[in-house]
Amino acid sequence: MANLLATLRLPSNMKSGQWKILAGPVLIMLILSMMVLPLPAFVLDLLFTFNIALSIMVLLVAMFTQRTLEFAAFPTVLLFTTLLRLALNVASTRIILMEGHTGGAAAGKVVEAFGHFLVGGNFAIGIVVFIILVIINFMVITKGAGRIAEVGARFVLDGMPGKQMAIDADLNAGLIAEEEAKKRRSEVTQEADFYGSMDGASKFVRGDAVAGLMIMAINVIGGLLVGVVQHDMAVGAAAESYTLLTIGDGLVAQIPALVISTAAGVIVTRVATDQDVGEQMVTQLFNNPRVMLLSAAVLGLLGLVPGMPNFVFLLFTAGLLGLAWWMRGRQMTAPPPPAPVNKTQENPQAVEATWNDVQLEDSLGMEVGYRLIPMVDFQQDGELLGRIRSIRKKFAQDMGFLPPVVHIRDNMDLPPARYRILMKGVEVGAGDAYPGRWLAINPGTAAGSLPGETTIDPAFGLEATWIESALKEQAQIQGFTVVEASTVVATHLNHLIGQFAPELFGRQEAQQLLDRVTQEMPKLTEDLVPGVVTLTTLHKVLQNLLAEKVPIKDMRTILETLAEHAPIQTDPQELTSVVRVALGRAITQQWFPGTGEVQVIGLDTALERLLLQALQGGSGLEPGLADRLLEQSQEAVQRQEMLGAPPVLLVNHALRPLLARFLRRNLPQLVVLSSLELSDNRNIRMTATIGAK
C-alpha cells in the first residue's frame, strides 16, 4: 500500500495551477458515484446546495461576461451541470423509494423544504408549479436559446471567409504582424466552435427537462407501489408522502436548471461590446428621459380608469416622472463636449513643419479606380487581396526573399476600371480590369475571334478580348486562355515583381535575409559579415543574382563561396561570377529540369574569338557587331520558342558578364549561361549558332 501511495503521490514541484487538470476527472467520478452508490440524506443536502450555488455562479459569470469567448467553457459547463442534476435525481430517487415511508425528511432537509415550505405542503400545487417550471424551461428559454445558437452558428460559419480575408488584408497591408494574424484567426475559429457547441449543448437542457417529467412520474408511481405493497401504507398517505418528496426533489433540480438555461440565453443573446449585460440593459433602457415621460403618461391614464388598481398605477407614474426629471437634470448639468481647438490659431508656431510632414514612398503600391474597389476591399470579400498574399508567399519560396507589402489605395483621378502599379512612387505598370467579365487571351494558337472589347494582356503583351461570362466556355473551346479580372491584375503584379526583383531587394531586405540565415546557421555568418564581406558587397552580389533571374534560396552555398573568395577578390561582379559557378547545378535545373539533353544557343567560334579580343582590349562592342549580335540573338530566341526549349545562350565563362549585361537591356527574355555553370553529366546540343552567317 505504501508503494501504491508513493506511486500516486503528486510531484512536490507541481505548480499550483496544475490541480485544475484534475477537476474534470474528479467531477466525473463523483457523478458516477452518485448514480451507483447510495448517499445519506446529509450528503444529498450538501450536493443539492452545491448545485444551486453552482447555477447561480454560472449565471453571474454569464452576466458579467463582455465577450462570448471569455466564457468559452460554457458548453462544457452546461454538460457537467446537466449530468450533475441527473445524478442527483438518481440518488434522490433511490433514497425516496427506500426511505420515503419514514416521513418528509427522508431525502434530506433541502428536499423537505422545497416540498413543504415552497408549495405549502400541497402536492397538487407542487405538481402544477413543477410542470410550469418545466414548460418555461423547455418551451421558452431553452428552445429560444437553442434557436439563437443555431442561427448564430450559421451566421458565424458564413462570415468566417470574410473575417479570414479581412485578417489577410490587414496582414498584406502591414497593419498587423503575423502573430496578431494567427491570434485573430484562432479567435474566429473558436467563435465558430463555440456557437456550434452551444447549438448541440442546448439539447442537453431540453433532454434534462423531459427527463425531469419522466422521473417525477416514475417516482410518484413507484412510491405508491412501494408504500402500499411493501410498507402497507394507505393509498392517500403513500400518495401524499411520496408525491411531496418527489415534488421537492423535482423543484430542487428544476430551479437550478432554469437558472442555467437563463445563463445560456444570456450568453447567446448578448451583443459583444465593452460592457457586460447589466451595464448594457441599464445604459440602454434608462438613457432617454422621453421614454420615461411617455411610459408615465400611459400608466397615469390607466391609473385614472375606475376599477383599476389606481394607487399602484399612480405610484409607478410618480416614480417614472421622478426618474425622468432626474435624468433630464443630469443631461442639463452635464458639461458640453469640448469644442475642437484650433491649435494653429492659438499657437502660430504650430504651423512650423515637422518630420511628421515627410511622407515616405511605399516600396510597392497599387492604385485602383472606383470600379475596382470591391476587388481590394476586405469588407466586400475582395479576392485580389488573397491573390496578392499568395503571390508574395510563392515569390518568397521561389526566389528566396520576401518582397515588400503591396499598399493598395483608391484613386478617384483614375478611370473607373483602371489600375496602376507603383514602385517607390513611380508607375511601372498599368492596365484595365472589368469585374464580372473575363479576359480571353490568345496564346497564338486560338481559332477564330470573340465578340468583346479588344485589348492587350498587360503582363505578357498578348492579344486578348474582354468577354461576357456567357462566352467563357466558347472561348475555351476555341483555344483561348480565359481568366477573371482579379487574376489579370494579380498576374500583372506577379510579372512586375519578378521583373523588378533586384530593385525591390534593398539593404533592409538584405539585412532581414541575413538575420534569417543567422537564426538557422549562426556559425556560418558569425565572422563573415562584416568581417570578411561587408553588407554592401553582399547586397550587391545578391542583387546581381536576382537581376539574372537566379534564386538566392541557397544562402549556405552563396555565403560559403563568398567566405572563400572575398578575402582575395572584392569586386561584386567577379564575386557574382564565382557564386554563379557554385550555384551551377541549381541554375541548370532551373532552366533544364530533369536529366535529359540540354538544348542551347551557341556562339560561332570566330565570333567568340572576336568578342574575347574586344574584351581583352577593353574597347567594348563595335556598333556593327552589336547590331549583328542582337539581330541573330532574336532569331535564335524565336527558334528556341518554336522548339519548345528555354531561351538560353551558352558562352565562354569570360564572355558571360559582358554578353549578359548587353543582352539583358535589349533582349530580357534571353538567359546567358557560362559553360562552367552547366552540370558535367548533361549532354549539350546546339540548336542555333550566333555568328555563323
Q: What is the DSSP string of 193-262?
A: HHHHHHHHHHHHHHHHHHHHHHHHHHHHHHHHHIIIIIS---HHHHHHHHHHHHHHHHHHHHHHHHHHHH
The total domain count for the chain is 5
Per-residue pLDDT averaged across 547-552, rounded? 91
Q: Is residue 353 part of a domain?
A: no
What is the model's pLDDT at position 148? 65
Higher pLDDT, 271 or 424: 424
Q: Is residue 111 part of a domain?
A: yes
Measured distance CA(435)–CA(374) in Å, rounded: 9
Residues 693 and 571 in one domain: no
Residues 72 and 193 in one domain: yes
Q: What is the pTM of this model?
A: 0.52
Q: Is residue 346 part of a domain?
A: no
Reference 39, options 101, 89, 102; nearest CA is 89
Q: Is residue 487 part of a domain?
A: yes
Per-residue pLDDT averaged across 393-413, rounded? 89
Q: Which stretch of DSSP H or E encloses residue 672?
A: strand 671-674
What is the model's pLDDT at position 428? 92
Residues 606 and 682 in one domain: yes
Locate 679 and state its grid cell: 552540370
What is the model's pLDDT at position 14? 45
3-state secondary structure at position 484: strand
Close Cβ partners of 130 (under 8 Å, ≥ 6 residues apart) = 216, 247, 250, 251, 254
Residues 661 and 621 in one domain: yes
How far CA 231 is from CA of 41, 70, 108, in Å, comes to: 20, 54, 20
Residues 88 and 137 in one domain: yes
What is the model's pLDDT at position 80? 78
What is the model's pLDDT at position 455? 92
Tell me the pLDDT tens digit for each residue of 4-24.
334 334 444 444 455 566 666
Tell me the pLDDT tens digit for each residue of 671-683.
899 888 887 778 8
Close Cβ partners of 81 (under 8 Å, ≥ 6 residues apart) = 51, 54, 55, 58, 256, 260
Q: 41-64 and 109-116 are packed helices; what angle lies between their axes, rounded to 10 degrees?
A: 70
Reference 198, options 34, 73, 113, 39; nearest CA is 73
What is the model's pLDDT at position 82? 78
- The residue out of 502, 533, 559 marking a domain boundary is 502
CATH of the domain at 631: 3.40.50.12790
3-state secondary structure at position 603: strand
Higher pLDDT, 402 or 222: 402
Asked if 648 and 591 touch (Cβ cutoff 8 Å), the reply is yes
pLDDT band, residue 276 (cuts 50/70/90): low
Locate 147 and state its grid cell: 434557436
Per-residue pLDDT averaged across 520-529, rounded? 82
Higher pLDDT, 605 or 289: 605
Higher pLDDT, 230 or 577: 577
Locate 597 and state its grid cell: 539533353
Cβ count near 436 (within 10 Å):
10
What is the model's pLDDT at position 338? 55
- Res 564 pLDDT > 70: yes
Q: What does the CA dihedral 506, 507, 510, 514 come to, rounded to 10 degrees?
A: -170
Cβ count near 357 (within 10 Å):
7
Asked if 271 and 280 touch (Cβ cutoff 8 Å), the reply is yes
Unique residue bearing C-alpha cell 536529366:
595
Residue type, position 76, single letter: T
What is the model's pLDDT at position 540? 93
Q: Is residue 570 part of a domain?
A: yes
Q: What does the CA dihedral 371, 372, 377, 383 come to, rounded to 10 degrees?
A: 130
Measured distance CA(585)–CA(573) in Å, rounded: 20
Reference 452, options 468, 429, 472; nearest CA is 468
Q: Give long-range contacts, CB 8 A cutoff, 24+ apart: 201-205.
A: 201/74, 201/75, 201/78, 201/79, 201/149, 201/264, 202/142, 202/145, 202/146, 202/149, 202/264, 203/146, 204/78, 204/79, 204/82, 205/78, 205/82, 205/137, 205/142, 205/257, 205/260, 205/261, 205/264
Complete DSSP assignment for 355-421: GGG--PPPSEEEEE-GGGHHHH-GGGT-HHHHHHHHHHHHHHHHHSSPPPPEEEEE-TTS-TTEEEE
Residues 146 and 246 in one domain: yes
Residues 191 and 236 in one domain: yes
What is the model's pLDDT at position 3? 42
Per-residue pLDDT averaged across 34-63, rounded? 78
Measured distance CA(572)–CA(551) in Å, rounded: 17
Q: Is residue 23 part of a domain?
A: no
**Lowest mean pLDDT, pick from 332-341, 364-373, 578-587, 607-616:** 332-341
Return left, alpha or beta for 212; rule: phi > 0 is left, psi -120 to 50 is alpha, else beta.
Answer: alpha
Residues 651 and 545 in one domain: no
Residues 567 and 689 in one domain: no
- Res 689 pLDDT > 90: no
Measured distance CA(663)–CA(386) in Å, rounded: 36
Q: 535-547 and 572-582 are packed helices; what angle lies between their axes, rounded to 10 degrees?
A: 60
- The residue out of 531, 556, 582 marking a domain boundary is 582
Residues 47 and 83 in one domain: yes
Tell me the pLDDT tens digit for each residue of 220-273.
777 777 777 777 677 677 766 777 777 777 777 777 777 777 777 777 666 555
What is the model's pLDDT at position 2? 42
Per-residue pLDDT averaged across 156-180, rounded? 68
Q: Is residue 152 part of a domain?
A: yes
- The residue out of 564, 582, 600 marking a domain boundary is 582
User: What does residue 638 show for φ and ψ, rounded to 5 degrees?
Assistant: -60, -40
Cis status of the peptide bond prior to 530, with omega within 30 of 0: yes
Q: Is residue 235 part of a domain?
A: yes
Per-residue pLDDT averaged across 502-525, rounded? 88
- Res 419 pLDDT > 90: yes
E runs forming strands in 425-554: 426-432, 438-441, 453-456, 463-467, 481-484
Close Cβ partners of 687 (under 8 Å, ≥ 6 residues apart) = 599, 600, 601, 636, 639, 640, 643, 645
**Enclosing domain of residue 458:** 364-502
DSSP H helices in 400-484: 472-477
Q: Give long-range contacts, CB 8 A cutoff, 24+ apart: 169-177.
A: 169/378, 169/382, 169/385, 170/378, 171/389, 172/385, 172/388, 172/389, 172/392, 172/405, 172/406, 173/405, 173/407, 173/408, 174/405, 174/407
Measured distance CA(198)–CA(146) in Å, rounded: 7
Unique residue bearing C-alpha cell 415534488:
247
Locate 648 and state its grid cell: 538560353
pLDDT band, residue 488 (cuts 50/70/90): very high
State how far Cα 300 lies from the chain centre: 55
What mean pLDDT, rounded, does the chain reach? 78
- Res 158 pLDDT > 80: no
- Res 170 pLDDT > 90: no
Most confident of 43-47, 90-94, 397-401: 397-401
CATH of the domain at 368: 3.40.30.60
Residues 557 and 673 in one domain: no
- Res 110 pLDDT > 80: no
Per-residue pLDDT averaged across 73-97, rounded? 77
Measured distance CA(541)–CA(566) in Å, rounded: 11
In terms of DSSP bridges, do strands 684-690 and 598-603 run parallel, antiparallel, or are they unpaired? parallel
Distance linking the first and last C-alpha atoms of the chain:
101
How far CA 222 is from CA of 165, 215, 560, 581, in Å, comes to: 61, 10, 88, 93
Locate 649 and state its grid cell: 545562350
**∠ at Cα 110 (221, 246), nearest 5°?**
10
Asked if 190 and 72 touch (Cβ cutoff 8 Å), the reply is yes
Per-residue pLDDT averaged across 477-484, rounded? 89
Tell me the pLDDT tens digit for each residue of 656-666.
888 888 888 88
Return left, alpha or beta for 593; rule: phi > 0 is left, psi -120 to 50 is alpha, else beta.
Answer: beta
Per-residue pLDDT averaged across 487-498, rounded? 91
CATH of the domain at 552: 1.10.8.540
Per-residue pLDDT averaged across 519-531, rounded? 82
Residues 457 and 394 in one domain: yes
In terms of DSSP bridges, do strands 671-674 and 364-368 run parallel, antiparallel, or are they unpaired? unpaired
Proportion of the chain above pLDDT 90, given as a percent: 13
